[in-house]
Amino acid sequence: MTGGQRRVWRPDWPCPAPGVLGQQRHGGGDPTFRVHGDEVWRGIRTPDGPASLRVAPRPSEGDVVGEAWGPGASWALETMPAMLGADDDPSGFEAHHHPLVAEAHRRRPHLRFGASHRVFETLVAAVIEQKVTGQEAFAGFRRLVHRFGERAPGPGRDLRLWVQPSAETIRRIPSWEWLGLHIDPARSRALVRAATVADSLDRLGRDDADVKLRILPGIGEWTSAEVRSRAFGDPDAVSFGDYHIAKDVGWAVTGTPYDDDQMREFLEPWRPHRNRVVVLLHGFAGGRPRRGPRMAPRTHLPVR
């Protein structure tokens, strides 16, 4: 592989690069994400244009090698540390408020949230994932990328790595095409409206993102949290309103599912690290047993 740019970065903590980058993945078939052994490849639409980014950890040397191709290569390598959690400071996190959280933290003391710094790109997948099953959401995202995205530059093309469509492209997608992607009008309208202000969204900072995201039609608390968690690595961005999260947290700590209000009350002592607690608990206890009825995929949209 030649013609790319290269960077070697040495984190000051044991950084599980594939696991942190996996926070940006949207299902096992995400066309913008590829895993080859210990290497992770990402197709990214940067402010400077598309990029293929290869991230290869070297545990024996204690560093991470990044290589990037395309117009956005420099940007991708510059932000690689943030993608791997360098901007996430867990020093103020106090796990002792609950023994299960303390034990989970003892087992995963180096948990970090990566920051993609691509708000609109992150928002696209989050809107597609609204109020549908994971199967529907990931399939809709794949269809959108394959239909309107582009192949990633450099060797990413040979790996069948893709880059999401641009905001300009999303603004021009007609209504019947959205239906063919199995993305209903409520979600497609939210995406098209967000695409008209994509440049402003990508200039948001972590502190003002929640308020400004939720001004947009079709963007609520859950979607904002999903975006802030991935785009800014916000460890306090809990996806309240999720079909599973509150139930899983309640099951982990009490053996009985919580609702959102109960989860808010439980997590309050850990502000501004509430989502760190959610991720720690899920990694330690797993999800609750899925014995009840599940949300079924809808079948009324046309097949493409």
Sequence-ordered list of residues with C-beta below 8 angstroms from that of 6, at least 6 positions apart, any chain: 65, 66, 67, 77
**Ranges 14-18, 65-69, 297-301: which has the least confidence:** 297-301
What pLDDT does 299 receive?
44
Q: Do 94 and 21 meet the contact criterion of CB atoms below 8 Å apart?
A: no
Structure tokens at 300: 């009324």
Using 50, 70 and 90 to split pLDDT, how confident is the model at 288?
low
Q: How does pLDDT run across 3-33, given as a tens digit for each residue?
A: 799 999 999 999 999 999 999 999 999 999 9
Specify the pLDDT at position 157: 86
* CATH number of the structural domain 90-304: 1.10.340.30
Q: What angle do CA 44, 161, 171 make, to 5 degrees?
A: 55
Structure-block tokens of residue 284 = 């330690």
Q: Cα(223)–Cα(221) distance, rounded to whole angstroms?
A: 6
Instruction: Reply yes or no on whether the pLDDT at 57 is more than 70.
Output: yes
* Residues in a beta bridge with 8: 65
Domain ranges in the chain?
5-89, 90-304
Separation between Cα atoms, residue 178 and residue 35, nearest integer Å: 29
Task: Yes or no: say if 85 and 113 are a contact pair by the CB < 8 Å rule.
Answer: yes
Looking at residue 285, its pLDDT comes to 78
